[in-house]
């Protein structure tokens, strides 16, 4: 009896012991997979091909926050109009309302390729902007066009890059690290929001506006180059790993087919709820009235140069 009790105690200690490094089930796993039981930052950085994706995302976050500052700065220098300066912010975030529709594109197309095309397009667009500024051919309406296109690219990145990160972690059998990755992504965005405008402001003071836009183009181009080193990960499919691949694919196809109708229905429901929210309508009304009187005062007062 004593020997049997000792054997049972040994078996319980083995079951309660922490899992060793490797993939699922304690097996060796793929080289890219970190320790299954760990969720630290060091474990995440050891996941194969994740560091280039993370650095590329940080560069894009710094660049897009710098774009918001530089667009408003240029508009203030060109027009001296508070209303037109504020419109750059509206143009930069205009496509946020199309986020659900862009999410359907993320489900249908290669996410890494979409993000790479976004970075390449924004790099080329910024270089054209630099050329216009350097040759004094830039006019302020073109800045709104640039900001609107940057808004579209930002939403495409927002709806594709987090899903691509999850696909990458899933392929490396490290999807338990997705919460750490999303928290790190939020940290990178906030760091970019703090230091991106500061860095560009320093460059504008010492080197000029065109040099700051060159820096933005360089960051976007570097982010695109880093993503070119990473192959497109397959889209995560839990059913495929659990053995129910056929039914899961059919169900996903049905969900994608009815996705657009669901998005439209949700948007209409959101607008209806917003119109019924008195607090929201009050804040919106006060904002509109304040902007109206600010514009009227600006129109009847001498401009400060």
Q: What is the per-residue pLDDT across 229-238, written as a single tens digit (0 to 9) for each?
A: 888 887 776 5
Evaluate whether residue 173 is within a structural domain. yes
Per-residue pLDDT, 34: 42
Check if the beta carbon of residue 23 is closer than 8 Å to that of residue 33: yes
**Residue span of the structural domain in which 268 resides:** 256-305
**From CA 107, how far away is CA 100, in angstroms rounded?**
11
Of 232, 265, 290, the position where a domain reaches its end is 232
CA atoms within 13 A on the CB side of 109: 18
* 217 pLDDT higher than 90: yes
Residue 303 gets which letter from DSSP?
Answer: P
Per-residue pLDDT, 225: 93
**What is the tally of structural domains in the chain?**
2
Are residues 227 and 267 part of one domain? Answer: no
Answer left, alpha or beta for residue 26, where phi above 0 means left and psi between -120 and 50 means alpha.
Answer: left
Are residues 281 and 228 part of one domain? Answer: no
Alpha-carbon dihedral angle through residues 141, 147, 148, 154, given to the nearest 10 degrees: 170
More confident: 289 or 1: 289
More confident: 206 or 238: 206
Evaluate whether residue 24 is within a structural domain. no
Are residues 225 and 261 part of one domain? Answer: no
Are residues 263 and 134 part of one domain? Answer: no
Are residues 56 and 118 part of one domain? Answer: yes
Evaluate whether residue 164 is within a structural domain. yes
Least confident of 8-17, 107-116, 184-193: 8-17
Are residues 267 and 209 part of one domain? Answer: no
More confident: 290 or 122: 122
Per-residue pLDDT, 212: 92
Per-residue pLDDT, 259: 58
Evaluate whether residue 25 is within a structural domain. no
CATH number assigned to the domain comprising residue 62: 1.20.1250.20
The reported pTM is: 0.65
Are residues 264 and 225 part of one domain? Answer: no
Are residues 159 and 63 part of one domain? Answer: yes
Are residues 191 and 65 part of one domain? Answer: yes
Are residues 74 and 146 part of one domain? Answer: yes
**From CA 5, how far away is CA 15, in angstroms rounded?**
15
Are residues 296 and 210 part of one domain? Answer: no
Evaluate whether residue 10 is within a structural domain. no
**From CA 262, how far away is CA 273, in angstroms rounded?**
16
Per-residue pLDDT, 37: 46
pLDDT, tens only, 91-104: 777 777 766 677 77
- Please compute the mean of the pLDDT values over residues 139-156 and round it to a whole number: 88
Evaluate whether residue 124 is within a structural domain. yes
Helices 99-108 and 245-257, packing angle to 10 deg: 150
In which band, very low, low, confident or very high, does the pLDDT at 8 lie, cut at 50, 70 and 90? Answer: very low
Are residues 281 and 195 part of one domain? Answer: no
Per-residue pLDDT, 284: 66
Alpha-carbon dihedral angle through residues 229, 231, 237, 243, given to the nearest 10 degrees: -130
* 256 pLDDT higher than 80: no
Per-residue pLDDT, 162: 85
Of 170, 200, 232, the position where a domain reaches its end is 232
Evaluate whether residue 237 is within a structural domain. no
**From CA 175, how far away is CA 235, in angstroms rounded?**
12
pLDDT, tens only, 17-71: 433 333 443 334 444 444 444 557 788 888 888 889 999 999 999 998 899 889 8
Least confident of 17-26, 162-171, 295-304: 17-26
Closest CA to 34 of 25, 42, 43: 43
Evaluate whether residue 65 is within a structural domain. yes
Least confident of 180-184, 220-224, 270-274: 270-274
- Please compute the mean of the pLDDT values over residues 250-275 and round it to a whole number: 62
């Amino acid at each position: 009896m004593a020997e049997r009790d000792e054997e049972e105690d040994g078996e319980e200690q083995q079951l309660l012991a922490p899992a060793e490094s490797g993939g699922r089930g304690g097996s060796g796993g793929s080289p890219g997979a970190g320790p299954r039981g760990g969720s630290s930052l060091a474990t995440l950085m050891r996941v194969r091909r994740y560091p280039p994706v993370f650095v590329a995302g940080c560069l894009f976050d710094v660049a897009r926050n710098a774009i918001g500052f530089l667009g408003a700065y240029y508009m203030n220098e060109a027009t001296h109009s508070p209303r037109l300066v504020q419109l750059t912010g509206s143009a930069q975030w205009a496509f946020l309302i199309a986020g659900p529709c862009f999410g359907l594109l993320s489900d249908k197309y290669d996410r890494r390729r979409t993000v790479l095309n976004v970075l390449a397009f924004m790099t080329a667009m910024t270089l054209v902007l630099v050329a216009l500024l350097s040759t004094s051919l830039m006019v302020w309406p073109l800045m709104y066009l640039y900001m609107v296109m940057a808004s579209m690219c930002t939403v495409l990145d927002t709806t594709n890059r987090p899903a691509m990160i999850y696909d990458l972690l899933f392929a490396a059998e490290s999807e338990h690290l997705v919460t750490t990755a999303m928290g790190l992504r939020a940290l990178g965005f906030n760091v970019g929001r703090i230091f991106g405008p500061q860095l560009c402001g320093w460059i504008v003071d010492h080197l000029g506006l065109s040099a700051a836009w060159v820096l933005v183009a360089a960051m976007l181009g570097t982010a695109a180059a880093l993503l070119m080193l990473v192959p497109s990960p397959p889209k995560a499919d839990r059913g495929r790993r659990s053995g129910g691949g056929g039914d899961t694919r059919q169900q996903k196809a049905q969900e994608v087919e009815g996705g657009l109708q669901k998005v439209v229905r949700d948007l209409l429901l959101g607008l209806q709820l917003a119109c019924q929210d008195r607090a929201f309508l009050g804040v919106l009304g006060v904002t509109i009235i304040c902007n109206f009187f600010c514009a009227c005062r600006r129109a009847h007062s001498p401009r400060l140069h």
